[in-house]
Every structure is written in C-alpha cells, then in structure tokens.
Amino acid sequence: MKALKNIFVGFLVSFIGSIPLGYLNVIGFEIYVKLGISSLFLFLVGVIFVEMFVIYLTLLFARQLVSNQKLMKIIDFFAIFFLLILGYSFFESANQPIEQQGVVEKYATYSPFLIGVFLSAINFLQIPFWTGWNLYLMNGNYISIANKHKVYYIAGTLVGTFMGMLCLVLILNTLAQNTSSFSKYVIPVVIPLFFVVLAVVQMVKVYKKYYQNKTES
C-alpha cells in the first residue's frame, strides 16, 4: 500500500509541476515540431534521466540543502541570467535568415537524449523545487522513503514528468496547427517574451526572499 501511495503522490506532484510552461517544455515543443515524436521521446528520457538523480539526492539531503542559504542564493541568481540568455537565443534565432533559423537546428547533430541530459543538468531551479516538495512530503508523512519505498516514489515522479511534458508539448502543437497567428508569432515574440517574464518573476522572488525584510527593517 505504501508503494502505491508513493507512486501516486510522486506522479501527481511531478505531473502538475511539469505542466506550467518552462524552458524544457518550450524546447521540447520545438524539438517535436522540427525533429518529430521519436526525437521528443528521446529528449524527455534525457530530461528525466537527470531528474532521477536530482530527486534521489534531494530526498537524502533535503534538510541540509534547505539550511544552505548560500547555495540557494547562488541558484536563485543564476536562474535570472539563464532565463534571459534563453530568451535572447530564441529572439536572435527568429531574426536570422530562414536557412539559419532555429535554436534546435544548431544542435541537431547531437542526440536529442544528450540535449535533454544537458539542458536538464543545467536546470538548477529543480533543486529548490524538489528539495521543498520532498521535505514537505516527508514531514507530512505523505511518502515513505524507508527501504525500497523511495524507489517507487522516484518512479512515480519520473513518469509524471514525462507525461506532463508530453501532454503540454502536444497541446502547444495543436494550438500551433489550428491557429496561424500562434505559429507566426510564437518563436519570434511569444517565447522570448515568456522567458523575460519568467526572469522578472524570478527577480521579484529574489528581492522578496533576500532584500525585502532588510529594507523594511
């Protein structure tokens, strides 16, 4: 029973957490459009391959990571610059001649699996995400990590991430096919703007987390 509970909770948290648009979802969408469904599957497998280690390590060291404020601060600041760089990359690609366009085409010679591994490995935001969730779930006794139970939890999270990202990519593709304006503006305008908005949101979080209390005191 604990095994099934771990699988369900892991799947639910990961599925919901992977649905909001993030840079991995956006790049997964472009891989699907440009390289096809098989490449998307390989990309997603690469993403969850790295996530497997992240979840396992944050399960073991959740309390220590939360208490390491210096590491959390570095991750938070890095995320701002990373999101801005991604937005600029898509914007620059969209304004190049057609034969030179596409962020994905630049890396098409590499395996989509390796692209997924690399991009997931530099997604440092998943560390505080999984640290917070794992700590909450463990403290609330929603999951058990004794013996092999943690394996069931991790398996549930990986399936949840895979299915969540796959569903979102397919939804985005349906919108792109049925709405001409979506296809016309998504790469040159919507995606770069989306990353800028994410960066601004991250800036607000950083300000509230590290500076708001100091200015008010």
Residue-wise pLDDT tens digits, 53-98: 999 988 888 767 666 777 777 777 777 776 777 676 666 655 554 4
- Give the span between the Cα atoms of 67 and 169, in whole angstroms: 36
Indicate whether this model's pTM tops 0.75. Answer: no
Q: Provide the percentage of residues in the chain whose pLDDT is more than 70.
A: 76
Give residue-wise pLDDT tens across range 1-45: 778 888 898 898 888 777 666 778 888 888 898 888 999 999 999
- Give the span between the Cα atoms of 103 and 30, in whole angstroms: 8
Q: Provide the percentage of residues in the chain whose pLDDT is more than 90.
A: 18
Q: Which two tokens stand for residue 88?
A: 């600029």
- Give the span between the Cα atoms of 126 and 151, in whole angstroms: 19
Give residue-wise pLDDT tens across range 118-169: 988 988 778 777 887 787 788 777 888 787 888 999 999 999 999 999 998 9
- The answer, yes or no, to whether residue 50 has pLDDT greater than 80, is yes
DSSP 187: I
* Residues 32 and 173: beta-carbon distance below 8 Å: yes
Residue 113 banded pLDDT, cuts 50, 70, 90: very high
Other C-beta atoms lying within 10 Å of the C-beta of residue 217:
5
Contacts of 211 (CB under 8 A, 6+ apart): none
